Amino acid sequence: MERTELDAQLENAAATHLHQVKDSVPFVAVPRGHELKSIESFLKFPTRIRETMKVLTPESFIKYFNVFCDDDSLIVLNDNNQSITGFLDYHQAHSPSWCDHKVVYSCPKSREWELWNQMNQHKFNQLSFAEFIEQNIKDFAEPAGGQLLEIATQFSVTRTSVFSSGVRLQSGEFQFQFSEENQKKGTVEVPEKFSIGIAPFHNGERYKIEARLRYRIREGELAIWFELIEPEKVLEDAFNEVKDVVRNGIDKVLMIEATA
């Protein structure tokens, strides 16, 4: 059967007619070879806000949320990944919404936090351990910086030494015995534990984190490393503080603990 001009007109008419069905989504019939095109860009204003604002501080989250929120907005507190999401155009009780407008604070980790966790349980020789201390001396809380720099200096001068043993002193320190090619002998003492003071989150509050020193001597070579004590607990405490800041800065909005 040949296609007539009337067939084409009917087909175009079907494509432009909006079909309304009670209690259902309206639809149009689109002929083959055609596609739907939105003309929203020609309007003076968009029909709704489509935005996911990613902020870097809890204070910025609060400011942005308070500007755009309404009585139906929702905040999701996610302990699994330490993030807070504000749905500014959330559903009403009996009326769905697009949920296209969001503000997110993902608690970005600080440079110091990333570094110390990356080097956690990394095995250093005495020289690389000394360099690590010197480069990050500002992060140490206990012992004092001067004492740690002294330890770093001692390790730096033992780069060609042979280590024979390590003992734990009554003071709680480790003492490493070494000798050099010229038969010179000596010792280096380091604390069994130390603590650092760093902020888990970018521009956040500092927290004290304890670490244990570990070592191994094999064929005269010293390997030394640290193990952070419960760093995940520090993250948990830091995120709880962030949640308190958000709760205190935003009123009369539903907040739930979830993973969305």
pTM beyond 0.85: no
Based on the fold, state whether residues 119 and 205 are members of the same structural domain: yes
**Average pLDDT of the chain to the nearest whole number:** 86
Cβ proximity of 221 and 211 under 8 Å: no
* 181-192: b (≥16 Cβ within 10 Å) or e: eeeeeeebebbe
Q: How many domains does the structure of the chain reveal?
A: 3
Based on the fold, state whether residues 193 and 117 are members of the same structural domain: yes
pLDDT over threshold 50, residue 1: no
Name the range with the highest mean pLDDT among 18-22, 89-93, 120-124, 218-222.
Answer: 120-124
Based on the fold, state whether residues 223 and 248 are members of the same structural domain: no
pLDDT over threshold 60, residue 11: no
pLDDT over threshold 80, residue 24: no
Based on the fold, state whether residues 116 and 207 are members of the same structural domain: yes
Percent share of the chain, pLDDT over 90: 51
Based on the fold, state whether residues 140 and 213 are members of the same structural domain: yes
pLDDT for position 179: 84
Based on the fold, state whether residues 116 and 221 are members of the same structural domain: yes
Task: Return the closest-CA partner of residue 52 out of 106, 129, 117.
Answer: 106
pLDDT for position 190: 85
Cis-peptide into 143, omega within 30 deg: yes
Cβ proximity of 133 and 148 under 8 Å: yes
Average pLDDT over residues 133-147: 88
DSSP sequence for 65-122: HHHH--TT-EEEEETTTTEEEEETTPPBTTB-----EEEEE--PBPHHHHHHHHHTTP
Q: Which range of residues forms the domain containing residue 221?
A: 111-229
Based on the fold, state whether residues 16 and 67 are members of the same structural domain: no
pLDDT over threshold 90, residue 88: yes
Q: List pLDDT tens digits, range 94-106.
A: 888 889 999 999 9
Comparing 48 with 7, the larger pLDDT belongs to 48
Least reliable range by pLDDT among 5-19, 122-136, 190-204: 5-19
Based on the fold, state whether residues 122 and 188 are members of the same structural domain: yes
Based on the fold, state whether residues 187 and 101 are members of the same structural domain: no
Based on the fold, state whether residues 60 and 128 are members of the same structural domain: no
Based on the fold, state whether residues 123 and 221 are members of the same structural domain: yes
Based on the fold, state whether residues 163 and 191 are members of the same structural domain: yes
Average pLDDT over residues 121-140: 92
Percent share of the chain, pLDDT over 70: 90
Comparing 119 with 155, the larger pLDDT belongs to 119
pLDDT for position 148: 83
